[in-house]
Structure 1
């Protein structure tokens, strides 16, 4: 007994020397305590030598209670998780109440209350047109969402307008049908879903369908029927009928290739998730064929270089719709590629050589290739291009910005160049007279907002210069810094709960435009600001 008392006293003394965080985890719907939930306390304050953060783990008891004594004082994110409850979805903010931020001082005692939202389930059967079960089919629950860089750390800065500004269907969960054709997708956050089913047979499926619709052709799959998942709810008996898609062949020709060898790529249109199928042909071969091609939309393409002059090239492509039979007589239309010369220069000294840079242009046409050229030591480059419209995305320089981009004598403020109607060298001038904007983001209560997303949007005369867009996250003190900013007009926004890719979408920002802070950045200037976090309620 005496020993137990001594141990208890020692524990109390240890707790008194540090900080204490305790709390309760409850069901967000019923309010009942959640036992055996894992609670993680992630340190936001760096301490020690070398500086590092401190993390702790606890588990709730039968009353949903947890206690973490003898902690290193500082700021912490407190998060809870348990099977059957929503975990944070990548690219999306935390569910309300699922995460709390606390500051625990020396000898201090912080109390938090966390709430977890129960997940839902979708279950049913996969059958063929005769009502027979289909085993081994993969069923995915899909939601429309923005792509997002969910790993953006505090202090890291992203440049330009990425693909995150586009919404697309993303898988949130999945299951495989058993021998009775039955499937059960669990762990789904409440919300609206569409189901997609595909046979598990490699990258390309041999049948696909959408739930709750008449058996469609492949092209009709773009109109999914929504299913609403509720907390702790289960949508049962969702039956999906699939029509087997038999593989067929594509045959065609490339007129007069005049090359010793070249490759033709067959890719599913709008889907770059898997490697394309390739076929190679010799000097005299103009004809080609692909076998085992499943129904869908495809693009055939090839680049043919002149053996006498590798700088000269031809590009050929053709779109193919595979439905229920072989496709014959496909002719790849050959388009001569233009050779564009250009240069990269700077209005001041750079920390590295031009030879470490690439010039990169992304096509407006998704069926066209991305263009890349290596910059020589003297800043010049040569680029074979298609007579189409492209967006300049590189070079991206850590200490400079696109000050001027010209095609011939024409200025390209939106970094878009139309090679079909523009001629002349492509000249890229990098500016080194960069400005810096820094500050703090606060919530409605006037407290520093941790991990808020800050976006800097070009405005005024430079509106549309997507290469000058910047975004970052706040640190543990709600502070942020954007160190490489081109002089000019901008609007600053701070987002507390928006889907992480949403603030990069101009359509999404329209509703919140008046909540942005207008700033004028001067060359080599530094501006300090205070932003109020925007709550979208989404």
Structure 2
């Protein structure tokens, strides 16, 4: 039997930000399979130096997404990500062992949302609040923002990249169920469309979605409104 060994590519590059102090908060740049999420362990990573450089070795052929791991919270978001000069935010493909160059530009003025979750009787409700991106960014778990509303229904979401989203609040939902396209399609019309700009702040009221069999056939109503 003949075993063929494939030498992986080296992806190197730099993280760029207008605020150099942010670079000390980053741990690494990571790559995972196109439909893989960052909480999965079998990913490839490269440490980010204090001047923003990183190298990831042994990247085998396949489709990938990239994201940044950091150890201190910051109001940052990815403004652009390019691999060999081509937009890579929605994913990219590695074909062979040739070296690749990546540039990640970060913004430090993400948007913010806060608000309250109410039940259908307008009483405060605990819930899992999820801000879901539109379009191809739904493949990136890092593009979602999640908060758990406190007992009086209050929640906050920060470091939101500018763009168009839908906001959902589930009373009872399995962790990361919203990453399943089929699950999300069931509730699509109950999401409230909202646009987030750089550095903008907004307050919202969200009507909680009960996770019951009846919900699947219930009539759809607008779940929230901006105050």
Shorter-chain TM range is 0.7 to 0.9
**Structure 1 match to 2:16:** 345
**Shift of residue 476, structure 1, vs aligned partner:** 1.8
Structure 1: any 5+ residue segments left out of the alignment?
1-328
- Work out whether residues 402 and 467 of structure 1, in 8 Å CA contact, stay in contact via their aligned partners in 2: no
**Structure 2 match to 1:392:** 66
Counterparts in 2 of 1:122-521, with a 5 A limit?
329=1, 331-346=2-17, 348-349=18-19, 351-354=21-24, 356-363=26-33, 370-384=43-57, 385-396=59-70, 398-414=74-90, 416-420=91-95, 424-450=100-126, 452-459=127-134, 464-521=139-196
- Work out whether residues 350 and 399 of structure 1, in 8 Å CA contact, stay in contact via their aligned partners in 2: no
Aligned-partner Cα distance in 2 for 1:535–1:432 = 35
Q: Which has the higher contact order (CA 8 A, sep 6+)?
A: 2
**Shift of residue 479, structure 1, vs aligned partner:** 0.7
- Work out whether residues 438 and 528 of structure 1, in 8 Å CA contact, stay in contact via their aligned partners in 2: yes
**Shift of residue 461, structure 1, vs aligned partner:** 7.8
Query: Cα 1:370–1:483, aligned 2, differ >3 Å: closer, same or farther?
Result: closer
- Work out whether residues 355 and 376 of structure 1, in 8 Å CA contact, stay in contact via their aligned partners in 2: no
Provide Cα deviations, 1:351-407, integer angstroms capped at 9, x if missing partner: 5434842111123599xx521111122211222122322221323563211211110
Structure 2: any 5+ residue segments left out of the alignment?
37-41, 214-227
Q: What secondary structure sits across from 1:439 in the alignment? A: strand
User: What is the CA RMSD across the aligned residues, in angstroms?
Assistant: 2.6
Aligned-partner Cα distance in 2 for 1:501–1:532 = 20
Larger Rg: 1
- Work out whether residues 458 and 464 of structure 1, in 8 Å CA contact, stay in contact via their aligned partners in 2: no
Aligned-partner Cα distance in 2 for 1:417–1:351 = 29
Query: Cα 1:382–1:353, aligned 2, differ >3 Å: closer, same or farther?
Result: same
**Structure 2 match to 1:9:** none
* Structure with the higher helix share, 1 or 2: 2
Query: Cα 1:341–1:441, aligned 2, differ >3 Å: closer, same or farther?
Result: same
**Shift of residue 535, structure 1, vs aligned partner:** 1.6
Aligned-partner Cα distance in 2 for 1:433–1:388 = 33
Q: What secondary structure sits across from 1:425 in the alignment? A: strand
Instruction: Report the TM-score when normalising by structure 1.
Output: 0.35
Query: Cα 1:420–1:520, aligned 2, differ >3 Å: closer, same or farther?
Result: same
Aligned-partner Cα distance in 1 for 2:118–2:188 = 18
Aligned-partner Cα distance in 2 for 1:529–1:403 = 25
- Number of aligned residue pairs: 205
**Shift of residue 453, structure 1, vs aligned partner:** 0.4
Aligned-partner Cα distance in 2 for 1:389–1:354 = 29
